[in-house]
Amino acid sequence: MSKGINVHLVGGGPGDPELLTVKAVRLLQEAEVVILDRLISEGILKLIPKGTSCIYAGKAPGRHYVSQDEINEMLVKVALSGRKVVRLKGGDPFVFGRGGEEALFLAEHGIQFEIIPGITAGMGCGSSLGIPLTHRGLAKSVRFVTGHSRNNGELDLNWKSLADPDTTLVIYMGLGTIGEVTSNLIAAGLPGDTPVAAVEKGSTEDERCCITTLSDLEGRVRVEGFKPPTLFIVGKVVTLAKQLNPALEDADGGLRIVG
C-alpha cells in the first residue's frame, strides 16, 4: 500500500480481470480489508487472497443493501482501525461510481486516500463489441449519462442537447428507464433508426449484446430479457460493430451470448 495512505478507492473495470491495472491488482493483494461493490465479477474476486476480510456493500436498483451514507461511515470506521483498506468499485470510481462522494467524506474526516482509476464500462463495452466511441465522420464527441432517476422520478436530462446525431451517447444504469430515454430522444429530434447496442455484463464471460435501433430498443431488450448491469451505446458508430467484430452477426440479427 502507498505510504501514509489509509484508503484506496480502486476502479475494478468493466468485469474482465485482465483489464484491471497492475496497481489495482497489487493493492488487492496487499489489502487487509476490501469493501466490495455489487458489480465486481467473480474473476476479480478470485484475485483477492484468502484470509482478506471482504465486506459487501452492494446496491441494486430499488433495493439498496447498504446505503451510501452507511458506506461512507464504514470507510471511515475501517480506515481508523489502522488496517489497509481497498474500496473496490466497478468501472471507474469517478464515472457514475459515487467515488467523489466517498472521497469527500474521507477528506472531511482527515483520512488520506488515493484514487486508482479503472476502465469505465462505456469504454470496456465499446472495445469488447468493436464499437469506437468516436470515429472520424461518424462521431465528433462522446457523452456519458445516467439513466437512473433519483427517487424513481423523471430523468432530469437535457434531451435536446443529447439528441445530437454526431455524438455517441453512452447510457449507464438505464435499463429500467429505457422507454423514457428512447421516447425523449426521438421527441428531441434523434432519428428512430439511430443504431443502438445494448450490452449486458460487458467484457465478461456472460456478456450478451443486441444491435438494434432507437425506436426498437425498448421492445428488443424486453423480449430478450436483458438484466442489470446493461449499458447502451447510441449513435452511428454502432454500425462499425459488425465490421470490427464479425462474431456479432448471427442468424437472429445481432444477439449473441459469449461463453
Point out the residues that are catalytic: 37, 59, 173
Provide the pairing of β-strand 53-56 with 33-36. parallel
Question: What stretches of the chain show up as alpha helix (H) in DSSP?
Answer: 22-30, 42-45, 68-80, 99-108, 121-129, 159-162, 178-187, 217-223, 241-244
Q: CB within 8 A of 162, min separation 6: which ones?
A: 143, 145, 169, 185, 188, 190
Helix-strand-coil percent breakdown of the chain, rounded to 5?
Answer: 35, 25, 45
Asked if residue 229 has a cis previous peptide bond (ω within 30° of 0), the answer is yes
Residues facing residue 230 across a β-bridge: 200
